[in-house]
A and B are shown apart, each in its own frame.
Chain A
Amino acid sequence: MSTHELKTGPLEYRTQEGQMSILGFWIFLGAEVVLFSTLFATYAVLFGRTADAPVPADLFEPGITLVMTFLLLTSSFTCGLAIHQMRAGSLKGLITWLVITLGLGLGFLGFEIYEFIHYAHEGATLQSSSFWSAFFVLAGTHGVHVTLGIGWAVLLIIQLVKRGLTPVTSRKVFVISLYWHFLDVIWIFIFTSVYLIGMVV
């Protein structure tokens, strides 16, 4: 392990540690793909098994899910801008865009919680049937990921304020940006295969 630091290129790739952490995180994302696809498979197999609970077509609303989707899409975009600022060397720009990203993420979570409570009022809960179990666990796992991401990013912003842009902090920020974009990828599939298909079939 050399501690030699490269002199050019993005800050987060300049040390061997930085490169390895980012590579390790990519591999972890490979595992996350499988984790979510298992949940998708469960959802697909249990699709339509609503027992006595309401069917999804009666509960899903295009408006609110579209708003959630745009919130998350935009947050993914602002997160990309944050990395752009980081690579341009602007700490202030980075923190600003990160905070905006988190705000959008919180908005998404708020809608998701509202949505879950609403469904529960209509008689569709985790316990009511296997379809609804699969729905809540799939969407909920994504929601938990978003929540953890927000907490994690807050810790990183504190570190950025304390330490500025170093190979270590920029590596950490880059990793969480990967995580955040990845959650958007997952949401695209939830939006498509859960909500859109749920409203069509």
Chain B
Amino acid sequence: MQLDEFFVTGEPLIYGGMVSIVLVTSAIIFLLTYLKRWGWLWREWLTTVDHKKIGIMYILSALAMLFRGGVDALMMRVQLAFPNMNFLNSQHYNEIFTTHGTVMIIFMAMPFLVGLMNIIVPLQIGARDFAFPFVNAVSFWSFFFGAMLFNISFVIGGSPDAGWTSYTPLAGAALSPGPGQNFYLMGLQLAGIGTLATGINLMVTILKMRAPGMKMFDMPIFTWSTLVTSFIIIFAFPILTVALALLTIDRIFGSQFFTLTGEGMPMMWANLFWMWGHPEVYIVILPAFGIFSEIIATFARKQLFGYKAMVWSMILIAGLSFLVWVHHFFTMGAGALVNSVFSVSTMLIAVPTGVKIFNWLATLYKSRIQMTTAMMWSLAFIPSFVIGGVTGVMLGMAAADYQFHNSYFLIAHFHYVLIAGTVFACFAGLVYWYPKMFGHKLNERIGKHSFWWFLIGFHVCFFPQYFVGLDGMPRRVFAILPEWMPLNVISTVGAFGMGVGFVIFVYNIYYSYRYSKREEKGDAWDGRTLEWATPTPVPFYNFATLPEINGRDAFLSMKKNNETTFDEERLEPIHMPSNTGQPIIMMAILAFASFALVFEWIGLAVIGLIGTLIMMGIRSFDYDDGYHVEVDEIKKIERSARGL
């Protein structure tokens, strides 16, 4: 293979990308060396099994991916506002909408939410870590290397260009030769391993590690949403694993699953993809619902209205999410019976979702609302999400979908649910739990600026797209008709507004790090649930002691009874897992194998797989079962954290 086949050549934008990657990487290496931080990085972060640190690494990676996906989006918007400027050619445009979609769903939305779950769920249920801290580290590194593998494609080998849905036969070996599509398959496969492991880990954690006395229906609603989400992950991700594996075998080993020859069935890919893909939509929206529920209850200063209805509607949504997948391809050519069945099941989902909306409104009703930034994101979510949901029901009608399908109406719909739902929730959750993670709040004034820029930009960007879609503009085109111009220009202006909002958000992180008042107590917002019972910064073992929990909003009753998580009488040595470098090494080797498979270097891939198996064998013989934190040390840590 020639070097110019290995690196992508001939695109000025991509040369720019290469230069900035080299610059950023060397800047990081220089800084780490200059500040002598390599050992610190390895000991404190790369080998950690602490759920809080892993969560922070998830969120940092997700923010980086949000930046990358956002730049992709802005480039598309520039192209559509000035279609004759040849900013992007058709091939480059195809690559960018593909990576935008994949990065945003798989490498931004999911890790952001998983990061919040990592940090918050053990704290909310009174656990000291995940059920399997080692596996949690493996999950993170599999996501991280999966994301790196996918992202490197634009400078090495070329990006995938068949859309984030990667439909066959277009994505098959005959029509998309070369490594691009393999990057998609291997990147998602690698990250998928981690997601499945996280799902299992969270489920066991929530089922087995709750504080004494906390019953299932006493759990905070975010923990409930996490439990339901992990259920969906466990049952949906294996479908993606198989679908990706089959397409990989098709492309690399010449099987005939989705090909046009050998009586293959390209449409089966769409079927399998959406059997995972629809539950995936709920994997990213249910945790968002959980986050909003927590924030709304906290800042409305009221108990969440209809807690049980909220839980049951999430369970119902989870069940229904496995029964609607065909609505993503009504126009594939199936008969009326198939489409009708899935049309009806799709509309059923609106019922439990509606229940949730009314419960939030009822929580707000006659409450004393505190207008914090986190609350504003949550309040903005409700109407915006309803617009997305209602247009979703329109798309769910099979007959009407023949008009809407693959138009900008669809684009507007899913951006309305995914941005107003998931992205708002990520921002809201980050702002809300930020003091718990970093010991200081994000600046409220700057936070509100970023909120307004993002919210207004969002509506300006996507609302016109409903109309340009109804006017017939299809998705995934890089050139447009003159009559679609005005709305597209407005849309582009809105997109840049969102970009400004994001930049202000990131600036706020820096500003608050420099200037925000440090938290002295752990309870930044006068919270209701157990995570606020810990001191800030949270000790690595989370809870020194825990009172008997009876009922919801555990921390409220603790405050009433003057209880804390530091009861000196009941202190006992705490068992903690040791840090280990095995997860990062294991996943780095697996990433190497995946990279080799992308270029179809079978020998190297086999070597990498054997290396991974050897790492697993080493793990099997590793009987290190952690260490104990002694009572004296706990006392010292707790006293200094609580200013006693």
Contacts and interface: CB of A to CB of B under 8 A. Distances in A.
Chains A and B touch each other in the complex, with CB atoms below 8 Å apart: yes
Interface of A: 1-3, 16-17, 19-21, 23-24, 27-28, 30-32, 34-35, 38-39, 41-42, 45-46, 49-51, 126-134, 136-137, 151-152, 155-156, 159, 163, 168, 172
B249 A42 contact: no
Contacts of B560: none
A63 B434 CA distance: 65
Contacts of A130: 255-257, 259, 262-265
Contacts of A31: 196, 199-200, 234-235, 237-238
Contacts of A127: 253-256, 262
Interface in B227-271: 234-239, 241-243, 245-246, 249-250, 253-257, 259, 261-265, 268, 271
Contact of B131 (A24, A126, A131, A136): A24
Given A31-B238, A32-B238, A38-B239, A159 B621 contact: yes
Given A20-B131, A20-B132, A133-B256, A27 B203 contact: yes
18 contacts: A31-B200, A34-B238, A39-B242, A45-B271, A49-B264, A51-B263, A126-B249, A126-B254, A126-B255, A129-B262, A130-B264, A133-B255, A133-B264, A134-B257, A137-B249, A137-B255, A137-B257, A172-B620
A146 to B, nearest CB: 15
B620 A159 contact: yes
B519 to A, nearest CB: 27
B235 A30 contact: yes
A23 B204 contact: yes
B393 interface: no
A133 B268 CA distance: 14
Name B's interface SS: helix
Contacts of B238: 31-32, 34-35, 38
Contact of B208 (A16, A131, A152, A156): A16
A31 B276 CA distance: 13
A28 B200 contact: yes
Contacts of A49: 262-265
A34 to B, nearest CB: 4
Interface residues of B, number: 49
B249 A128 contact: no
A46 B235 contact: no
B623 interface: yes
B209 interface: yes
Contacts of A42: 242, 246, 257, 268, 272
Q: Which 6 pairs from chain A and chain B are nearest by CB?
A: A49-B263, A133-B255, A35-B238, A38-B242, A34-B238, A130-B256
A22 to B, nearest CB: 10
Given A128-B256, A155-B620, 11 more contacts: A30-B234, A38-B238, A42-B242, A42-B268, A45-B271, A51-B262, A126-B255, A151-B613, A168-B623, A168-B625, A172-B620
Contacts of A151: 613
Contacts of A3: 575
Contacts of B448: none
A163 B236 CA distance: 39
Contacts of A137: 245-246, 249, 255, 257
B268 A45 contact: yes
A2 B200 CA distance: 21
B545 to A, nearest CB: 12
Interface of B: 127-129, 131-132, 196, 199-201, 203-204, 207-209, 234-239, 241-243, 245-246, 249-250, 253-257, 259, 261-265, 268, 271-272, 275, 575, 613, 617, 620-621, 623, 625
Contact of B204 (A24, A134, A152): A24
Nearest to A134: B257
Contacts, number: 129
Contacts of B209: 1, 20
Contacts of B207: 23
Contacts of A133: 249-250, 255-257, 262, 264
A126 B246 CA distance: 11
B262 A128 contact: yes
Given A20-B204, A38-B238, A1 B132 contact: no
A41 B265 CA distance: 13
Contacts of A159: 620-621
Which of B131, B209, B243, B263 has the largest number of chain A CB atoms within 10 A? B263
Contacts of B201: 24
Nearest to B234: A31
A197 B242 CA distance: 23
A137 B272 CA distance: 16
Contacts of A168: 623, 625
Chain A CB within 10 A, most for which of B129, B243, B255, B617: B255
Contact of A24 (B200, B250, B262, B275): B200
Nearest to A154: B617
B257 A126 contact: no
A126 to B, nearest CB: 5
A172 B619 CA distance: 13
A38 B200 contact: no
A38 B199 CA distance: 19
Contacts of B264: 46, 49, 130, 133
Nearest to A38: B242
Nearest to A52: B262
A133 B263 CA distance: 11
Contacts of A23: 204, 207-208
Contacts of A17: 625
A168 B625 CA distance: 10
Given A24-B200, A130-B262, A155-B621, A38 B257 contact: no
A42 B268 CA distance: 8
